Amino acid sequence: MLFSRFFPASLSLCAVLTVVPLARAADKSAEPHFPTSEDLRHLKGIGGPQLSPDGKQILFVVTDTTADGAKSHIWIVAASGDKDSLRQLTVSPPADKRGERAPQWAPDGSAIFFLAHRNDHTQLFRLDLRGGEAMPYDLKVMPVVDESKAKNAIPPPGAEKKDKKADDKKPEEKPESKKDEPLAIDINGYATSSDGKMLAVWARDPETPGEKKQKDAKADATWVNHDEHGTRLYLAALKANGQIDGELKVTSVAPDVRSATWSPVDNRLLVTTEPPNDLSDLGPAGEAFLLDAATPDKPQKLSAIPPTIGRADFTPDANTIVFAAATPEDAPPGYDELFALPKRSSGEQVIRLSAGFVGQLNGQALYVTPDGTLIAQAGIGVRTTPVRLTLDGSKPPQPIDLGAPVITGLNTNRKQTGWVWLAESGGQPEKLCTAAKLGDACTALPIPELAPADLRSVEPELVKWQSGEFTIEGLLYMPAQAKSGKVPLIVDVHGGPFGAFENRHDPFADFLVGHGWAVLRPNPRGSSNYGVKFAAANKNDLGGGDYQDIMAGVDYSLAHYPLDASKMALMGYSYGGEMAGFVEGKTDRFKAIISGAPVIDQFSEYGTEGGSWYDRWYFGKPWEHMQDAWKQSPLSGAARAKTPFLILQGEADTTDPLGQAQEMYRALRQEGVPVELVTYPRDNHGPLAGAMFGRPVPEPWHGYDARQRVIEFLNKAFGVSEDK
C-alpha cells in the first residue's frame, strides 16, 4: 500500500522535499504572482548542509531545476556569511544525468569527498580544496558472486559449439584459462575514519563478464528472491594525500549492508544491515554489528538491538550507541523511538529514551553534546524541530525553538563548534542558517538565487477541530479572494497514512491558491507527529474514522471561514489517493475527486506491491481477514460512485502498482461515472509525486502535465472557463 518504513510517508499533493523557487534573471520588476505550472518546472532544491571540521565553512547540495535536468551539485559558503565566499564546487559532464551528491568533509578539512556517476559507475571522488580537480577512486574488487559459473547456468558449456554447422570441421584451439579480474563497483555509501586513515565503502556485487554475456544472449530468467548478489562492506587504508594504500578488502559482514559509521575514538565500525531477497517482507530483520578494522572477518552482532533499527551512531566517547527503531508499543511500522545501548550492558540491554513522547522522532540527526545530551529531530504536530533527550531516558524530549516551524538538515562537526540547518515555513522559502550554539538565533547565510521576489506564497493558518475523542489539526491556505466573498475549497489528503502535513514552504499549495482555491490539509487519526495512540487509531479502520475526521474538518472550516460548500473538491496522493477512492463511494459533497497513485483493492495490492509488512499491521493477511480487507478497499464502494474522478499514475510504480489505478478506472467506467486515467511512463511512486508537486526531477514534462490536468479537470467539473 502505502509506504515502507524507509520511504517518506508524508507524500501528498504537496511538495514534501526542500525546494525553493529559482530567481529568473529577466524582468526583475515583474509583478508578484503565485506560481504557474511552468514556474514549478523552474524550482531548485537545496539540502544536506555539512559544517566543516573547523566550523568556518559549510557544504550544501543544490539541485538544478526540472527544466534543466535536475542534476545536483555541491556548493560551499563561509560560516561568517561573506557573500564573496559562496561558490559552486562541482560540475557535471553532459553525459552525467545525476550530478554530484553525498558530500562529506575530510577529517582535517583540507578536502571533501562526494559521489558521482561517471564512466558507467557511481564512483567516490576526493576534491582537494587547496587546488586541483576532483580525483576519482579506482575502486575494484574480485567478484564474490558469478552466477554464470553456476551448475545450472544457461547457456550450458559447449552450447556455442553445438550450434555450429555440422560441416564446419575446423580444428578448435583449446581456449586459455582466464582468471577472474577485479571489477569496478557502484558505491552506495561511504565513510572515513575520524583520523582520516581508513575508508569504508559499501557496494553491490558487480555484474561479471559472464553474467553480462548471459544477459546479452537473453538467458536472463529471474529466479525470484534467489539473487546471490548483495551489498557488501569493503575497507581500505588511506595515505596522507588521500590515495588508497593497498587493496580494497571485503569484510565478513553479511549483505545487505545499509550503513557503516566509524567510532570517533578508534577503528571500530558500527554497521547496520538488512537481509537480501526481500526477506524483510516476512517481517523486520535488520541487524547491527561492531567490526574492528583490524579483524574485518570477525563482525560482532549486537543482539540487543531490535530488527527495526534505523539510523545509529556512537556517542563522542564511543561508550554508547544511540539509534532509532520501532516503538515497542502497537503502532504503525515507521513509528520510531530513540534508544541507547551502553557499553556496560555487554550488548544485552537497551535503554528506551523517548517513552510516551507525543511526536515522531525520525533519527535523521543524532548528536550527543559534551554534557551528555542527545540532540535529535522530531515531528510535533505541524512542526519539525530539534529536541533534547537524556541518555538515561529520565526526562521526556524537550523541543528546541529555532525560530521556524520546520527545521531540517541539522548538522554540526565533531567538536560542535557551530550548528547549521535549513529553516522554512509556508510563507517563507528555505534559508540556510548557522549559529554558534544550538538555540541561538539563526544567522542566514548566502545561497544561490533561489527565491525570486515575483513569486508569492501563503502562510497557512493552523486550524483545530474535534472528531470523536480526538482533536484534529490541519493547515488552511486561503486565497486573497476570500476577503471579498466565499471561495471554493480543495481538501488535500496526505500519504501514509502514517505521515503528516507540516507548515513548510509549499509551491504546489501556492499554485492552487493562485487559481483561487482555498486548500485544507488535515492530519486525521493515523497521522504521525501526534503520539502512539493517535497513530494507531486507524488500525483495521482505513477509510473509517480517518474519513470522519476529514469530513469534520470540512464542516468546521465551512462554519468558520468564507468557503463555498457547493464548490468543493478532494485530492490526495498514495494513501491520499486511496482516501480519494473511499470518498468516491461515501459522499457526493465533492464535485470533483483527484487520486494520485492510489490503493484500490487490498487483495491485489497485497500481492503486487513492493512490500506488504506495512499493510499487514493495518489489517493482517487479506486471505485471513477477507471482510476486513474488502471493507478497507475503495473498490468496495464503486457501485455507489457518482463524482467525476481523475486518476494520475506512474507506470513503473512499485509501491502502489499501475493495476490499482486500472481497476478503479474500469470499475467507475462500467458504473457510468465520469472517470479519467492518465499514466506516466518510467515514473515510480516517489518520482511522480515529486514531479507533480514541484520537486526537481529528471522527467521534464510529467509534473507539468499532471498539474495542467488537475486544473483542467477542476475547471471542467465546476464550469470554469480557461480564459476566466
**Structural domain includes residue 365:** yes
Segment 494-530, tens digit of pLDDT = 999 999 999 999 999 999 999 999 999 999 999 999 9
pLDDT at 119: 83
Query: C-alpha grid cell for residue 285?
Result: 530483520
Handedness of CA 145, 148, 149, 154 (dihedral sign): positive
DSSP designation for 709: H
Q: What is the CA radius of gyration of the chain?
A: 27
Segment 152-182, tens digit of pLDDT = 888 765 555 555 554 555 555 555 556 778 9
- How many domains in the chain? 2
Q: Look up cell 513569486; give the residue.
A: 455
From 400, 432, 447, give the residue that closes a domain. 400
Adjacency order of strands within the sheet including 518-523 = 461-467, 470-477, 518-523, 487-493, 563-573, 592-596, 645-650, 675-680
From 400, 415, 432, give the residue that closes a domain. 400
Tell me the average pLDDT of the chain.
Answer: 92
DSSP designation for 156: P
**Structural domain includes residue 513:** yes
Confidence band for 449, pLDDT divided at 50, 70 and 90: confident
**Structural domain includes residue 196:** no
Segment 567-608, tens digit of pLDDT = 999 999 999 999 999 999 999 999 999 999 999 999 999 999
Choose among 487, 474, 471: nearest CA to 558. Answer: 487
Segment 203-214, tens digit of pLDDT = 999 999 999 999
pLDDT at 29 over 50: no
| CB neighbours of residue 420 within 10 Å | 26
Average pLDDT (5-10) is 35
Is residue 606 within 8 A of residue 620, CB to CB? The reply is: no
**Structural domain includes residue 343:** yes
Same structural domain, 477 and 620: yes
Task: Give all strands (DSSP E) within 293-372, no chain letters.
Answer: 300-301, 312-314, 320-326, 336-342, 351-352, 360-361, 367-368
Segment 349-369, tens digit of pLDDT = 899 999 999 999 987 899 999
| CB neighbours of residue 541 within 10 Å | 18
From 348, 378, 400, give the residue that closes a domain. 400
Distance of CA 577 to the CA centre of its chain: 18
Is residue 180 within 8 A of residue 140, CB to CB? The reply is: no
Distance, CA of 402 to CA of 441 (rounded, Å): 6
Average pLDDT (635-645) is 98
Lowest mean pLDDT across 4-8, 287-291, 463-467, 529-533 = 4-8
**Structural domain includes residue 133:** no
Same structural domain, 623 and 508: yes
Query: C-alpha grid cell for residue 624?
Result: 485471513
Average pLDDT (479-504) is 97
Lowest mean pLDDT across 74-78, 152-156, 618-622 = 152-156
pLDDT at 151: 82
Distance, CA of 663 to CA of 652 (rounded, Å): 16
Distance, CA of 261 to CA of 315 (rounded, Å): 11
* DSSP string of 66-86, one letter each residue: GGGT--EEEEEEETT--GGG-
**Structural domain includes residue 173:** no
Lowest mean pLDDT across 134-143, 170-179, 399-408 = 170-179
Same structural domain, 394 and 509: no
Q: Look up cell 537524556; give the residue.
A: 390
pLDDT at 12 over 90: no
Which residues make beta-bridge pairs with 200?
A: 191, 235
- The larger pLDDT score, comparing residue 150 to residue 306, is at 306
Same structural domain, 357 and 481: no
Q: Look up cell 499554485; give the residue.
A: 511
pLDDT at 173: 54
DSSP designation for 587: -
* DSSP string of 96-139, one letter each residue: -SSBEEEEEE-TTSSEEEEEEEETTEEEEEEEETTSS--EE---
**Phi and psi, residue 212, nearest 5°:** -65, -40
Same structural domain, 395 and 477: no
pLDDT at 201 over 70: yes
Is residue 445 within 8 A of residue 59, CB to CB? The reply is: no
- The larger pLDDT score, comparing residue 343 to residue 724, is at 343
pLDDT at 363: 79
Is residue 516 within 8 A of residue 489, CB to CB? The reply is: no
Which residues make beta-bridge pairs with 203?
A: 187, 232
What distance separates the 2 farthest-apart alpha carbons in the chain?
Answer: 94
Query: C-alpha grid cell for residue 290?
Result: 561492531
- The larger pLDDT score, comparing residue 452 to residue 76, is at 76
Same structural domain, 520 and 654: yes
Amino acid at 271: V
Is residue 302 within 8 A of residue 290, CB to CB? The reply is: yes
Same structural domain, 392 and 478: no
Burial of 684 (0-12, 13-18, 19+ CB in 10 A): middle
pLDDT at 394: 93
Same structural domain, 538 and 392: no
Distance, CA of 390 to CA of 503 (rounded, Å): 28
Same structural domain, 499 and 375: no
pLDDT at 180: 78
Confidence band for 451, pLDDT divided at 50, 70 and 90: low
For 367, the domain range is 316-400
Choose among 475, 564, 569: nearest CA to 522. Answer: 475
pLDDT at 450 over 80: no
Buried b (16+ CB within 10 A) or exposed e, 216-230: eeeeeeeeeeeeebb
pLDDT at 27 over 60: no
Distance, CA of 366 to CA of 320 (rounded, Å): 12
Query: C-alpha grid cell for residue 196?
Result: 582520516
pLDDT at 362: 82
Same structural domain, 373 and 509: no
**Structural domain includes residue 293:** no
pLDDT at 122 over 80: yes
Give percent of the chain with pLDDT exceeding 70.
Answer: 91
Strands 461-467 and 443-444: unpaired
pLDDT at 49: 98
Distance of CA 89 to the CA centre of its chain: 25
Q: Look up cell 497557512; give the residue.
A: 460
Same structural domain, 488 and 363: no
pLDDT at 475 over 80: yes
Residue 605: CATH number of its domain: 3.40.50.1820
Kindly give, in sequence order, each residue whose CB lies less than 8 Å from that of residue 172, ignoring residues fewer than 6 positions away. Answer: 161
pLDDT at 16: 33
**Structural domain includes residue 479:** yes
Is residue 377 within 8 A of residue 364, CB to CB? The reply is: yes
Distance of CA 471 to the CA centre of its chain: 28
Same structural domain, 558 and 481: yes
Kindly give, in sequence order, each residue whose CB lies less than 8 Å from that of residue 691, ignoring residues fewer than 6 positions away. Answer: 66, 680, 683, 697, 699, 702, 703, 706
pLDDT at 23: 39
